[in-house]
Amino acid sequence: MKTIEFPVKDPKKPPKIEFANRCVNCGKPKETTLGLSLDMGVQKRDTPVMMTLTVPMCNRCDEKERRVAMVTLVPFLIAGLIIGIIAFVPATLIAPEGTTPQTLAFPFVFGGFAGLIAGIIGGTVVEVIVKMFAASFFGKLVIQRPLTVLGLFSSTDELIGGSAKYMKDKKIARLVFENDEIAREFNTLNGLERV
C-alpha cells in the first residue's frame, strides 16, 4: 500500500489528476470509470468547489465495488429505518403532551429524536454484523471501509483499490493505492516524486 501526497496550490482551482488507462485495483485494462469527489472547503459563486477524480476500473472490480457498497450501506439504511420506526412509536406515546402552542407537538419531536438515535445505533450494529459475515467473501476490503455513520462525517472518499482525502488545513490531497505499481504509474503521469 502506497500513499501519495500532492499540494493543492489554489483550492478554488483544483489540479487535474490523471490515472493510467488500467484498473486501479487489479491493473487490467480500463473498461469503465468510477468517481471520487473531494470537497475543497471553499466556495465559488456560492457553490462548493469539488475536486473530481475519474478512476479507471475493470468491469469485475467495478461490480465488486458496487457489491461492497451494498453490503455496507443497505443494511445500515434498512435496519436503521425499521429500528427507528419501532422506537418512534413508544417514545411518542410516552412523551408528555405540551400545554402551550409551542409545546403541543413535543411527543412527535421526542419520538422523532428517539427514533433517529435508535435507528443510527441499530443500523450501525446490523452493519457491523453483516460486515463480519461478508468478510469471508470480500476479505479485508469490506472490513477496511469505515462504518456508514462515520463515513458521513469523514472527508475521505474510498473505492476498491484506494482512497482519497483532502486536508484543507495543509492544502494537500492524499491518495492511497493498494497496488504499488499503479501508484508508481500515477506518480509518473502526474510528474510527482517517486514512491
Separation of CA 79 from chain center? 19
Could you tell me where the beta strands, DSSP code E, fall in 45-123? 47-57
Mapped onto helix, strand or coil, the DSSP state of residue 22 is strand
Extract the C-alpha cell encoding 5. 501526497
**Residue 91 pLDDT greater than 90, yes or no:** yes
Q: What is the pLDDT of residues 21-58, one digit of tens each?
A: 888 888 888 899 888 888 877 788 888 888 888 889 99
Mapped onto helix, strand or coil, the DSSP state of residue 141 is helix
Separation of CA 177 from chain center? 16
What pLDDT shows up at residue 194?
47
* Backbone dihedral region for residue 45 (phi beyond 0: left; psi -120 to 50: alpha; all else: beta): left
Extract the C-alpha cell encoding 123. 443500523
| Mean pLDDT for all residues in the chain | 85
pLDDT-based confidence at 109, cuts 50/70/90?
very high
Q: What is the pLDDT of residues 147-164, one digit of tens each?
A: 888 877 776 777 777 788
* Backbone dihedral region for residue 23 (phi beyond 0: left; psi -120 to 50: alpha; all else: beta): beta
How buried is 92 (Cβ within 10 angstroms: 0-12 exposed, 13-18 middle, 19+ buried)?
middle
Q: What is the pLDDT of residues 69-85, one digit of tens each?
A: 788 888 999 999 999 99
Extract the C-alpha cell encoding 18. 490523471
What pLDDT shows up at residue 141?
66
Residue carrying C-alpha cell 490531497: 173
pTM given for the model? 0.67
